[in-house]
Amino acid sequence: MAFDQQALSQFKEKLLIMASHAESVVTRAVRAYLDRDEPLAQQALETDEIIDQFEIQIDRIALDLLSQNPGELELRHITCGMKIAQDLERVGDEATTIASRSIELMALPTLDTPLDIAEMTFLVNAMLKDALDAFVVGNTVLARGVIPRDRQVDELNNTYQRQLTELMEAESNNIRRCLHLGVITKCLERIGDHAKNIAEDAVLLHEGTDIRHSEPGTE
């Protein structure tokens, strides 16, 4: 049986659409938190179901393609695509949690000492966008540039978690709000992890080089 190139094209197309939805849901969830915009948060929650359905469709096509004895390049497209789809689904889950926690926070007064996470949201959004752009156009230089930024996100999350702990220790009335914020910053940190994974898979797909577990510049 000849390898179905048309099905591979469909696989790639669905993955691109899924990537677009994942980027969109993160943008909506983050903006909903920053603007205290409940309708926008609800939109983010609805988009996650679409992402889940795309992952199911992509997995189904991938399993069929794998049964057709694909060549080396086709196999790389399929395996990297499946891993990227899994990361995109998890990005959607994290964005959903951000949206739902944001809705919870909207029902509560803001903290007397607000936690400014704008820097982290900007960095994570940029990482995800660059990772997806690198995957789509085959820009491995852009992909490699995503990877070291993950450490910045981790450091910011650690800083925010310390600040939230201090706020809870200072005033018990802050605890509920701080717990929600702690979950949001952890979700952002995880989205950064998934962006890094996608960037690594983009390099593997387009160069054939596995750079996982490598220090930047040493692979």
The answer as to whether 216 is a domain residue is no
The answer as to whether 212 is a domain residue is no
Give the per-residue pLDDT at 183.
97
Tell me the residue type at 171.
E
The answer as to whether 165 is a domain residue is yes
The answer as to whether 214 is a domain residue is no
Q: Can you tell me the mean pLDDT for 122-130?
A: 96
Q: Over 90: is that where the pLDDT of 19 sits?
A: yes
Give the per-residue pLDDT at 111.
83
Tell me the residue type at 60.
R
Domain, as residue range, for 149:
5-207
Residue of 154, 157, 124, 167 lying closest to 29 (CA atoms): 124
Give the chain's end-to-end CA distance (angstroms, integer): 38
Q: What percent of the chain has pLDDT over 90?
A: 84
The answer as to whether 46 is a domain residue is yes
Is the Cβ–Cβ distance between 89 and 51 less than 8 Å? Answer: yes
Can you say whether the dihedral through the CA atoms of 146, 151, 154, 160 is positive or negative? negative
Give the per-residue pLDDT at 1.
65
Q: Can you tell me the mean pLDDT for 122-144?
A: 95
The answer as to whether 217 is a domain residue is no
Q: What is the CA radius of gyration of the chain?
A: 19
Q: Can you tell me the mean pLDDT for 169-186?
A: 94
Consecutive H or E run containing 130: helix 118-137
| Cα 97 to Cα 115: distance, rounded to the nearest angstrom | 18
Q: What is the pLDDT of residues 38-94, one digit of tens each?
A: 999 999 999 989 999 999 999 999 999 999 999 999 999 999 999 999 999 999 999
The answer as to whether 43 is a domain residue is yes
Q: What percent of the chain has pLDDT over 70?
A: 97
Q: Over 80: is that where the pLDDT of 186 sits?
A: yes
Considering the entire predicted model, what is its pTM? 0.92
Q: Token pair 């000849």 is at which residue?
A: 2
Q: Can you tell me the mean pLDDT for 99-120?
A: 90
Give the per-residue pLDDT at 98.
97
**Domain count across the chain:** 1
Q: Among 5-19, 96-110, 111-125, name the one with the lowest average pLDDT.
A: 111-125
Q: Which residue has the higher pLDDT, 110 or 28?
A: 28
Q: Token pair 């399929």 is at which residue?
A: 78
Q: Token pair 């007064």 is at which residue?
A: 109
- Any idea what the CATH number is for the domain that residue 167 is in? 1.20.58.220
At 219, the pLDDT band (50, 70, 90 cuts) reads: low
Q: Over 70: is that where the pLDDT of 215 sits?
A: no
Q: How many CB atoms lie within 10 A of CB 215?
A: 9
The SS3 of residue 148 is: coil
Can you say whether the dihedral through the CA atoms of 200, 202, 204, 208 is positive or negative? negative
Burial class of 13 by CB neighbour count within 10 A (0 to 12, 13 to 18, 19+): exposed
Q: Over 90: is that where the pLDDT of 102 sits?
A: yes
The answer as to whether 40 is a domain residue is yes
Q: State the DSSP code for 113.
A: S
